Amino acid sequence: MIIPLCPVCGAPLSTERPAWKCENNHTFDVARQGYVNLLPVTQKHSLHPGDTAAMVASRRDFLNAGYYAPIADKLRELVAAYAPHAESVLDAGCGEGYYLSHLDLNERWGVDISKDAVRCAAVREKNAKFLAATAAHLPFADAAFDCVLSMFALTAAAEFARVLKDGGVFVQVLAGETHLSALKSVIYPTLLEKEKNLHPQLDGFTLLHGETLAFDFTLESQEAVQNLLSMTPHVWRISKEGADALKKVDRLSDRAEVIFNVYGRQKR
């Protein structure tokens, strides 16, 4: 069983309701929805870090509609192939828990720096544990997990290597260069093609597998189009003109292009 660590002093936490507690009496309430906030004020860069409640709700609605089911299916397939005996998984930047809820490992933990995200995740999936915490300081012991995921979220490679067992697997999912090009062509006057390293080498890891999954989908309403925008980093960058142009779009056929990288944790 995985035992989370106190974010203040690093001692193991006893995980009872109504509050988790360490031997030094630092206590963390279990929220009504079941998640626990382990984010000390010193690790927050703002009052409400991470995705907002509105972004979380948009993503939940979009993912629940099944548009990204091929991504969840591919994730299951790769975890089964590369970590067939894995019992524990940590989803770092788990959002509202969609991908974690599609895996059937014994012990599933999700962390996200957004309290709104883990609140939503805890409501969705009662059989997994969700923490508000930063992926940069994971509240877990060294070599705790068999598998770590980062789905469209940050890669804190050193921290992921620390919490993974030797031979454990890190699955990284990134947006490819042509990911959502129809959406981008509505909101940006010219498309900047940024060269991105799609299969980065990571210290402490060996790249075992890299693959691109591409599939088409069609959104049939303005609401679905806005939900898609809210899930992407474009929501932070969009101009007034871009936002206005997108408000006129009631139907959008787009193509997802998603990179899956599977890394093996090297021996310590």
Ligand X SMILES: C[S@@+](CC[C@H](N)C(=O)[O-])C[C@H]1O[C@@H](n2cnc3c(N)ncnc32)[C@H](O)[C@@H]1O
Binding site for Zn ion (CB under 5 A): 6, 8-9, 11, 22, 24, 26
Closest CB to ligand X among residues 96, 146: 96
CA distance 260 to 92: 15
User: How would you class 49 by CB atoms within 10 Å of its CB: exposed for 0-12, middle for 13-18, buried for 19 or more?
Assistant: middle
End-to-end CA distance of the chain: 22
CB of 40 to ligand X, least distance (A): 13
Q: Is 93 in the site for ligand X (CB under 6 A)?
A: yes
CA distance 114 to 53: 9
CB of 98 to ligand X, least distance (A): 5
Residue 264 touches which member of ligand X, Zn ion, none, C-beta under 5-8 Å by kind: none
Per-residue x/- track, 129-158, ligand X (CB under 6 A): -----xxx--------------xxxx----
Task: Indicate if the alpha-carbon torsion angle 130, 136, 139, 145 is positive or negative.
Answer: positive
Residue 101 touches which member of Zn ion, ligand X, none, C-beta under 5-8 Å by kind: none
CA distance 146 to 226: 36
CB of 81 to Zn ion, least distance (A): 39
CB of 147 to ligand X, least distance (A): 15
Whether 58 and 230 have beta carbons less than 8 Å apart is answered as yes
Whether 91 and 118 have beta carbons less than 8 Å apart is answered as no
Residue 6 touches which member of ligand X, Zn ion, none, C-beta under 5-8 Å by kind: Zn ion
Which residues bind to ligand X, rule: CB under 6 A? 50-51, 59, 93-95, 98, 111-114, 117, 134-136, 151-154
